[in-house]
Each structure stands twice: as structure tokens, then as C-alpha cells.
A and B are shown apart, each in its own frame.
Chain A
């Protein structure tokens, strides 16, 4: 137990989620098999257990927090932003996957991801600066070459259809 604000918030979320799951399970119909458990039985039991254990964790975290009087900082603002930015890019990639097709969306994602990570680490005097000629060439080769190779392998090699531009 580290007593960090994030950890407390996560345990509280688990507790709330367990409560919501319990009530959602209560609304399930009972089905037509009287000699066995109803469909809601296992989800309800699990929700109760998760809720009880999460409450226990929450109490322990709050106790640890009170003694420490300070939240633990795991990641700085810049690094946390990189994580959030990556998730946002992945979501955008998922949203564009079918409308733009595999090739365009993947090329776009690779470029955006590499540029984002390049910016995130550039302030730390990274040797591998994204805007050097060599790294731009590498980026172009990877961003075009990998999706095209994978597309060919899946479409013609494995005969697995991938989405194309609509």
C-alpha cells in the first residue's frame, strides 16, 4: 500500500464499479432452469467480493495516506502526457481503421506516434532527434514499408482481408 492519490482513486473506482455491477446483475432475468443457479448468481457474488476487497484496500490506502501526508508521484507531467497522447492516438487509429483503410490509417498512426514520442523525449537531449535527415528517412521507410509488407502478407499470403479506403 503506497497511499498515493491515484491508488486511492483507483480503489474507490473499483468499489463504485462493484456496486454498479451488483445492481446491473440484479436486473438480469432468472431464466428457466430451476435446479441450477440463476444467471445473476455468479456476477452478483463476484461483485460483492470485489466490493468487499476493494473497500478493504481503500481503507488501507487511506490509512497509509494519512500517515504519509503526501501523495506518491510516480510519473511526471511530461511522461504522463505521453501515455495519454499514445492512448488518444490509438483511439484515433481505431476510429480511422475501417473508414481510411488499413494502409492509410497505419501509415498515419506510425508517423504521428513517432513524432509524438520524438517531441516527448527531445527535451531530454535525446540523441535520436526525430527531425534529423537520417531519422526522417528511417521513419519514411518504416511508415510505408511495414504497412505495405504486412498488407501484402495478410491479403495475398494468408488470405486475410484487411480494410481498404472506402
Chain B
């Protein structure tokens, strides 16, 4: 074992490799900080740069991008309430109110440390627990995936801030939107109205940017007209100067940190689960464990600690099935999987048995990427947030153009832009009338997983529903879902009384 790690260490102990990881991390943070440019897109955009590189150097750079984009997404989430990536959606719930309360520097400092801790813990877990966790994830069948999706959908009720019923409506709208496109079992086209772009379903990126960015831009324009730019500047330079890693502050919220790292590490290896689900679940868990749950949503640092540690812990977790089984944990690792194949690395058990020790080089590269992420964020944060010195109306206009280019750049389809605008208007009204947009996103993400696995399961079990309730893992998830629903209903009734 030690010999393998020494081999891996010799692979990354090269200036070229270290520079590639550092450059990847820097670019990842920059791209992650741009609203609408996700970590998956960051990895995809920088993939061509790695073609001519040796395997560990190329993969190291991509891991740096993944790491940097995961952490960089927190910057616009906290400062502009516009998530840099879907994984940072939950960060804005408390990060943005903190910035509004004059604590932008503190929120960013906490986010940096929480991301670093989450990343380092996940790197250690990745290298130590990959085989057993991958083995566990292998046991998941359709019943388990369906139960996991139901569990995630129940979170909708708790995420919705104002009313559980409105949260459920928004979640169901997402679930309905997820049924658009080709039916996963029969191939029947549903609600496509002859539009070819809808055959593969509603793309997540336009929906996310519409719901979180465009809706916010519309609200910002209205706020701007209401109060003018003098009163709504999100933060001042003094606050950014205080944006340095807040070690003690972060560790003082150890419950949130533990829940974030724990949830991210557990959800990460589950294929298809994704960082957005991990961060929303960890936010919910942190709220439950907190001594001051009522402060969540109004600028509680625990919210930022939980979501940011979870985001980065999730990256390492999602690498487990990607590397051990060749099954990507989420979109960004799916792109990374493509990068590994281009580099001539075939993920799977054989990779772990490779005597050259490449896998250990990859483990160590990921660890180093997290250290670089801390340094890049620490030293560069005041430069990354320069964009906020631009007058508000110029910022609104330029961020809008970034949303357009971010959506258009992925597939080059103008339909995606119209989709984004539609979701933007819907998101504005959902927020204005207290429904929230996060439940809709969760429904949109979990809908296809839930439906495909439910129907696939029924096919396998010949129409029998009982295995969904009797298989131990599936039963555990369903019991947890019922427990969460009951608890939320009880809490709602108690607060009303």
C-alpha cells in the first residue's frame, strides 16, 4: 500500500504536473464563479487542453478544475444570490443574506474553509474507502434508486421556506417538467409539441440558470428601479478585504461541518445523485441539528458551512463510483470519465490492480488540488470579486449576457435560451408568491431517476410493488422519507399553533 502511494507521489512530484493542477484549479474557480458556467462545463471546456499531457498531469488538471469550480461557485451565490453552479444553490440560502447583513467577507471565509475541509476529507475517504463504498453502491437496484429519489423529493417539503404545500407544488411542477421528452421505457414522446430540442427532455442547465439567475435578475431590476443603485450595492470593498479563511469560525459550527461532510461523502458515491442534492440534503440536516434552526435562511453561517463542505465532500465521493466502477456520480464526473478514457485510463477494478500505481497518483493529485483550491481562493478572492465593483446596472446587463452564453455554449441551441427565459419568469413568480425555486429544481433532477427506476423495477418484479417495500436499503430510504414528512408536518402544525 505504502509503495503504491510512493509511486503515486513520484508521479505528481513534478513541476509540470503541479503547475497543471494549479492552473486547472485557478481556471476552475474563475469558471465556477461565473454564473451559468457549471463545473461540468468547466471540465468539458478545458478537456481539450489536456490532450497532449501525460495521464496523471491531464487528469490532475481536470481534478483541479472540478475542485476549483466546486468552490468558486460559492462566490456569486454569496455575493449576488446567483449560484455559480447547481451545487451552490443551497449556499445562497444563507450566504446571500449574510452578505446583505454586511458579512460577505465572513461568509466567503467560511465557505473557503468548509470547501477545503470537505475536499480534504473526501480525498482521504476516496483513497481509503473506495473499494467497500463502491461495493455498497453496486447493490443498488431500481427499487433502491426509486426509494432514494422519494427520500430526496420529501426533502422538498422541508426546503420550502414559507409553506409545505407551496413547496410540494413547486416540487411537483419540477417532477412534471421532468416528464417532458422521450418516455424512458416505451420511447413515447411526451409534451414535446413537435419541438426536437425537447425530445431529450428539459435540459437542466437552462432550467437552473432561468430559475436561479434570470429570476433573480428580474427581481434585481425591479429592486433597482425601486431604490436605485445607492442602496442596493451588494457589498463594499471593506467586506471583501475581510475575506480570508475563517478556521475558528468554521470549526465552531462543527455540527454543520460534520453533517455537510457526512452527507456529501454518503451521497457522492450514489450515481446520479449529484452535488445539488447533496448540498440541499446537508442544508436540511444542518437545519435539523442546529440549535437555532429559525435563523436558517436569514444569514446563518451554519447554512454556508453545511452546503460548502458537502459540495466538496461530494466531489470526492462521486469519484468513487467513477474510478472504481466506471459509473459517474454526477454530470461533472461524467465529463471527467470521458477525459480519463481520452487519457487511456479505463476506470474500473482493473485500474486499482494496475502495478504502475496510476490510481494512487490520481488520489494524490486530487488531494493536492484541494490544497491549491484553498490557496487560490485565499489569495485570489479579492480579485475574483472585482466584478462587484462594476455599477449594478452594468453588472445586471453583463451577468445576463453570461447567462445567455453559458446556456448557448453547451449545445449551441437557441431553444435553450428561450427555455431559460421561460423558467426565469416562472421562477420570479414562484419566489414572489412564496413557492420557492429550489423544490422545482429538486423535482426536475429527481424526476427522471424516480420514474425510470420505478417503472424499470415494476418490469423486473413483473408488476409486483412489494419489493420496493421489502428490500432493506429501499425500505430504509422509504422509512426515512416517511419520518421526515411526519416530522416536517408536525413542526409546521406546532409552529402554527
Interface string of A38-60 (1 = CB under 8 A from B): 11101100110110011011000
**Is the CB–CB distance between A32 and B398 below 8 Å?**
no
Contacts of A32 in B (CB 8 A): 186
How near does chain B come to A49, taking the closest CB pair, in angstroms?
A: 5
Q: Is the CB of A124 within 8 A of B191?
A: no
Note all chain A residues with C-beta closer than 8 A to B166: 57
Q: Which one, B222, B229, B402, B421, contacts A83 given CB within 8 A? A: B222
A50 CB to nearest B CB, Å? 5
Query: Would you call B228 and A124 a contact (CB within 8 A)?
Result: yes
Proximity bits, B172-198, A CB within 8 Å = 1, else 0: 110110010001011110110000000
Contacts of B459 in A (CB 8 A): 33, 35-36
A106 touches B401 (CB 8 A): yes
B-side binding surface: helix, strand, loop or mixed? helix
Cross-chain contact A57 with B179 (CB below 8 angstroms): no
Point out the residues of chain A lying under 8 angstroms from B46, CB to CB.
Answer: 158
**B186: contacting residue among A39, A53, A81, A94, CB under 8 A:** A39
Instruction: Please report the C-alpha to C-alpha distance between residue A114 and residue B221 in the assembled complex, in whole angstroms.
Output: 10
Counting CB contacts under 8 A, is A165 at the interface?
A: no
- Whether B471 is near chain A, meaning CB under 8 Å from some CB there, is no
**A109: CB under 8 A from chain B?**
yes
Residue-by-residue, is B380-416 near A (CB-CB < 8 Å gives 1, otherwise 0)?
0000000000111110111011101100110010100
* Residues on the B chain within 8 Å of A76, using CB: 226
- The docked-state distance in angstroms from the alpha carbon of A46 to that of B397 is 37
Instruction: Check: B218 CB closer than 8 A to any chain A CB.
Output: yes
Q: Given A79-B225, A86-B221, verify A31-B187 contact (CB < 8 Å).
A: yes
Is there an interface contact between A154 and B405, defined as CB atoms closer than 8 Å? yes
Contacts of A113 on B, CB cut-off 8 Å? Answer: 393, 396-397, 400
Measured between beta carbons, the chain A residues less than 8 angstroms from B404 are 93-94, 97, 106
CB atoms of A78 and B455 under 8 A apart: no
Smallest CB–CB gap between B185 and chain A, Å? 5
Contact B191 A43 (CB under 8 A): yes
Task: Decide yes or no whether B238 CB sits under 8 A from chain A.
Answer: no
Chain B: minimal CB distance from A90 (Å): 6
Q: Does B351 contact A (CB under 8 A)?
A: no
> What is the CB-to-nearest-CB distance from A149 to chain B, in angstroms, rounded to a whole number?
11
The answer on a CB contact under 8 Å between B176 and A82 is: no
Q: Contact: A109 with B462, CB < 8 Å?
A: no
| B222 and A79 form a contact (CB under 8 A) | yes
A90 surroundings in chain B (CB, below 8 A) = 214, 400, 421, 424
Contacts of A147 in B (CB 8 A): 401
Per CB-CB distance, the 10 closest pairs between chain A and chain B, nearest first, are A31-B186, A82-B225, A120-B225, A113-B397, A117-B393, A39-B183, A79-B225, A126-B228, A86-B221, A121-B228
Chain B positions within 8 Å of A, measured between CB atoms, are 45-46, 48, 163, 165-166, 168-169, 172-173, 175-176, 179, 183, 185-188, 190-191, 214, 217-219, 221-230, 390-394, 396-398, 400-402, 404-405, 408-409, 412, 414, 417-418, 421, 424-425, 428-429, 432-434, 451, 454-456, 458-459, 462-463
Chain A contacts to B: CB under 8 angstroms: 1-2, 6-7, 10-11, 14, 21, 24-25, 28-33, 35-40, 42-43, 46-47, 49-50, 53-54, 56-57, 74-76, 78-83, 85-87, 90-91, 93-94, 97-98, 102, 106, 109-110, 113-114, 117-118, 120-121, 124-128, 130, 135, 138-139, 142, 146-147, 150, 154, 158-163
